[in-house]
């Protein structure tokens, strides 16, 4: 057989193969149809027995029952429950009709008329800014990084803040923000920290301004979240760190220590001055009062003495004019001796018997001394 003869036979075989395939498929289809016809018409087939057993049932009734069961099942799918600590939002054809459904058993129109979205409103979530150590339950795809900002006096400050927040408005939370809630909280917090830290000098950040700064950051963050209608509320904020970088932390610590020491010394000096000056003023007032009293006493005594002398002089002049100057002097001498003599003690010593007078003896000692007799006039 030549090569051309072989190619011709192959071509005839290829042309005849589709017809053979169709004939084979037609034979299989015919066999299946004949089996189904026998199964449906043969009185001994299982279908005939089933038709005999269910022949008294009306198909229309079965159809209506099935439709009723399907309708009840469909309507019952509208029942839903909201667990404690959760809130639901009901939408009808995409429009919000119930923005907040409280916990309990409720009903809404079945899908696709109404849809229910349930949000956990009691869970307190945390977000951190500037903290390089991640928390186990708050892992985000973005890498953590430090947060550095400039203070009001252009000093670099490292800031670490942890904020706690939860859902306040479920409808706003579900449909007003288009990316992860932690991102909007984190970015808003960063903006608030940057805005508030730049208004304070570094000394205020390190000392008395930390508490007011923390409250200002919370208010600023909440205001921004409300403007975004995010449905989130800040429940707590912790300003863990607002301190210069580690490279210059020692220098800042030394400066702050020196300033605190200066303030302490100034306060002690002021306290000492406040305690010393009133005491000195009191002593000065006392000395002045004593001097005034002494002056008044001396003046009164001098005036009294002068008045007494004037009265004596006047009496002397009247007596001298009436009785003579010698008589008046002698009378005044006697009056003076009468005043002096009662206070004078006279001792008599018997020297003929060897009596001696000891000048050391006086008062009661002279009374007890032998050979000494005291006469008092």
pLDDT at 149: 77
Residue 35 — very low, low, confident or very high, per pLDDT cuts 50/70/90?
Answer: low
- Which positions ≥6 away from 191 have C-beta within 8 Å? 220, 224
DSSP conformation letters of 276-317: HHHHHHHHHHHHHHHHHHHHHHHHHHHHHHHHHHHHHHHHHH
Output 19 or 377, whichever has higher pLDDT.
19
193-247 per-position pLDDT tens digit: 888 888 777 777 776 777 788 888 888 889 999 898 888 999 988 887 776 766 6
User: Are the beta carbons of 117 and 89 closer than 8 angstroms?
Assistant: yes
285-338 per-position pLDDT tens digit: 999 989 998 988 888 888 888 888 788 778 777 777 777 677 777 777 777 787
Q: What would the two tokens of residue 12 be?
A: 């005839």
Look-up: residue for tokens 């009133």? Answer: 278
Residue 271 has pLDDT above 80, yes or no: yes
Residue 376 has pLDDT above 60, yes or no: no
Q: What is the mean pLDDT of residues 139-161?
A: 73
pLDDT at 377: 37
pLDDT at 287: 92
User: Are the beta carbons of 172 and 229 closer than 8 angstroms?
Assistant: yes
333/52 Cα distance (integer angstroms)? 177
Look-up: residue for tokens 């002021």? Answer: 270
Residue 9 — very low, low, confident or very high, per pLDDT cuts 50/70/90?
Answer: very low
Output 115 or 321, whichever has higher pLDDT.
115
Residue 12 has pLDDT above 70, yes or no: no
In sequence order, what are the beta bridge partners of 98?
Answer: 90
Question: pTM to 2 decimals?
Answer: 0.50
Output 97 or 377, whichever has higher pLDDT.
97
Residue 3 — very low, low, confident or very high, per pLDDT cuts 50/70/90?
Answer: very low
What's the chain's average pLDDT? 76
Residue 137 has pLDDT above 70, yes or no: no
Look-up: residue for tokens 């390190």? Answer: 206
Angle subtended by helix axes 46-53 and 3-41, to nearest 10: 30
pLDDT at 197: 82
| 3-state percent helix, strand, coil for the chain, nearest multiple of 5 | 55, 20, 25
Q: What is the mean pLDDT of residues 85-100?
A: 87
């Amino acid at each position: 057989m030549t090569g051309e003869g072989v190619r011709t036979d192959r071509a005839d075989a290829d042309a005849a193969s589709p017809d053979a395939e169709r004939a084979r498929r037609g034979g299989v289809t015919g066999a299946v149809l004949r089996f189904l016809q026998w199964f449906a018409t043969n009185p001994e087939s299982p279908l005939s027995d089933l038709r005999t057993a269910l022949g008294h049932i009306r198909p229309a009734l079965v159809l209506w029952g099935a439709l009723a069961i399907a309708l009840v099942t469909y309507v019952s799918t509208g029942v839903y429950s909201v667990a404690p600590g959760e809130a639901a939002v009901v939408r009808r054809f995409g429009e919000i009709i119930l923005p907040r459904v409280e916990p309990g058993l409720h009903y809404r129109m079945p899908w696709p008329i109404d849809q229910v979205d349930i949000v956990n409103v009691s869970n307190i979530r945390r977000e951190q800014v500037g903290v390089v150590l991640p928390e186990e339950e708050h892992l985000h795809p973005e890498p953590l990084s430090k947060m550095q900002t400039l203070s009001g006096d252009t000093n670099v400050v490292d800031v670490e803040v942890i904020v706690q927040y939860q859902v306040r408005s479920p409808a706003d939370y579900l449909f007003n923000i288009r990316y992860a809630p932690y991102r909007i909280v984190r970015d808003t917090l960063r903006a608030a920290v940057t805005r508030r830290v730049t208004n304070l000098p570094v000394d205020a950040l390190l000392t008395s301004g930390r508490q007011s700064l923390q409250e200002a950051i919370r208010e600023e963050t909440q205001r921004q979240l409300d403007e975004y209608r995010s449905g989130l509320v800040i429940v707590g904020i912790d300003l863990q760190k607002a301190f210069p970088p580690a490279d210059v932390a020692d220098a800042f610590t030394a400066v702050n220590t020196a300033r605190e020491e200066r303030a302490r010394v100034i306060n002690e000096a002021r306290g000492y001055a406040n305690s010393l000056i009133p005491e000195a003023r009191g002593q000065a007032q006392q000395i002045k009062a004593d001097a005034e009293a002494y002056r008044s006493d001396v003046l009164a005594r001098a005036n009294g003495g002068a008045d007494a002398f004037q009265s004596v002089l006047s009496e002397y002049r009247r007596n001298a004019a009436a009785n003579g100057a010698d008589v008046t002097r002698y009378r005044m001498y006697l009056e003076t001796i009468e005043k002096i003599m009662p206070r004078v003690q006279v001792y008599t010593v018997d020297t003929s018997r060897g009596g001696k007078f000891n000048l050391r003896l006086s008062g009661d000692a002279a009374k007890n001394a032998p050979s000494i007799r005291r006469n008092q006039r």
